[in-house]
Structures are given as structure tokens and as C-alpha cells.
Amino acid sequence: MSTDRTQEEWDRHWMAEALIHAQRAAALDEVPVGAVVVKGNQLISAGFNQPISSQDPTAHAEVVALRAAAKVLGNYRMPGTTLYVTLEPCSMCAGAIIHGRVDRLVYAATEPKAGVVHSQEQFFERPYLNHRLAVTSGVEASIASQMLSDFFQLRRQQKREAKLSPDLPDSQ
């Protein structure tokens, strides 16, 4: 890969990769959130939301990607890494980011209900935390937001259609 890209160009490049993984989540009828871990502009790992399909409440895209990165790097601490995620992290994921010692977080869309980076609280600014990281928000936000909106609109439509469909007897 060329190293003469600007940081903004790299951010868009890696967020596009995270968006591909968000599409994988949507294909499994999971909330479309994707994440990638990058070190030195090299992809280390990727993940996507899969709590429903894996029956694991911790299987958020960020946690999946961080677990995989830790295995690749051979350490649960990941200095020098950047985590790209298509949605503002929740409190669980923010905690995992801190414990993993990720250097930088880049996220696309805000999460007004459960996001803890900017939306509900500024978690990473808490004085008791023993790790600090840089945060960039809004990278490819319109694409990520549209993907989420489309997903939930389809889900609501499917629920409406299910309510309108008469229950058919089982065929024997």
C-alpha cells in the first residue's frame, strides 16, 4: 500500500473496510456494525456485530475485532493500533478499548441512545481511566447512518407485515 496518503484518506479507506463488515452483519439480520483494527496502516483484524447469531451479548463488532487482533498480536494490549468502527461505541466496547490500550478510535455514526464517546457521556475523558486515546468521529457517517436507517426501516416493515399476515395452519 502507498504510504503517501493523508490521515484523512487512510481513515476513509479503513472505514470503507469496516462498512463492508457491517454489511456482513446485516446479511445475518444483525444490526449492521463493522469494525477493523489497523496497525501501521496494515489490517490486523475485523469484526461485525453478531450477538444474535453467536448467542453472545458481548459479540459487538468492536469486541469481535479486538479479540481477533489480540490473538494476531499475541497480546491483549494493542499499543499503536487504531480501531475503526461504523457506530459510536457503547459502554462495554469503550471499556474493552481502554483495556486493550488502543491508541486511536475512529467511528462513523453517532449512537444517540447508547453511545458513550460523545452522545451520552464522554467516557474516554473520565479522570479515573489509566489510558488515553485519540478519537475521530464522523468518518463516512452518512453512509453508516443510512445503512443503519435502512436496516431498521426494513425490520419495522417486516414486523408490520408479520402482524398483517393471517396465521396459516401448519400443513400436514
**Over its length of 172 residues, how does the chain's per-residue pLDDT go in tens digits?**
456 899 999 999 999 999 999 999 999 999 999 999 999 999 999 999 999 999 999 999 999 999 999 999 999 999 999 999 999 999 999 999 999 999 999 999 999 999 999 999 999 999 999 999 999 999 999 999 999 999 999 888 888 888 776 665 554 4
For residue 60, say whether it is annotated as part of any ligand binding site: yes
| CA 82/CA 14 separation, integer angstroms | 10
Order of all β-strands in the sheet with 134-137: 42-48, 34-39, 81-87, 104-109, 134-137
Residue 172 pLDDT: 46
Annotated catalytic residue: which of 8, 9, 62, 88?
Answer: 62
- The SS3 of residue 25 is helix
CATH class entry, domain 7-54+61-138: alpha beta
| CA 64/CA 35 separation, integer angstroms | 8
Cell numbers 481513515: residue: 11
Q: Strands, E, within 98-165: which ranges?
A: 104-109, 134-137
Which residue type, as a one-letter code, is found at position 73? L
Which residues have C-beta within 8 Å of that of residue 4, sequence separation ≥ 6? none
DSSP 46-101: EEE--HHHHT-TT--HHHHHHHHHHHHHTSS--TTEEEEEEE---HHHHHHHHHTT
pTM over cut 0.85: yes
- Among this protein's residues, is 62 annotated catalytic? yes
- Phi, psi (deg, nearest 5) at residue 160: -60, -45
Query: Hey, where are the domains in the chain?
Result: 7-54+61-138
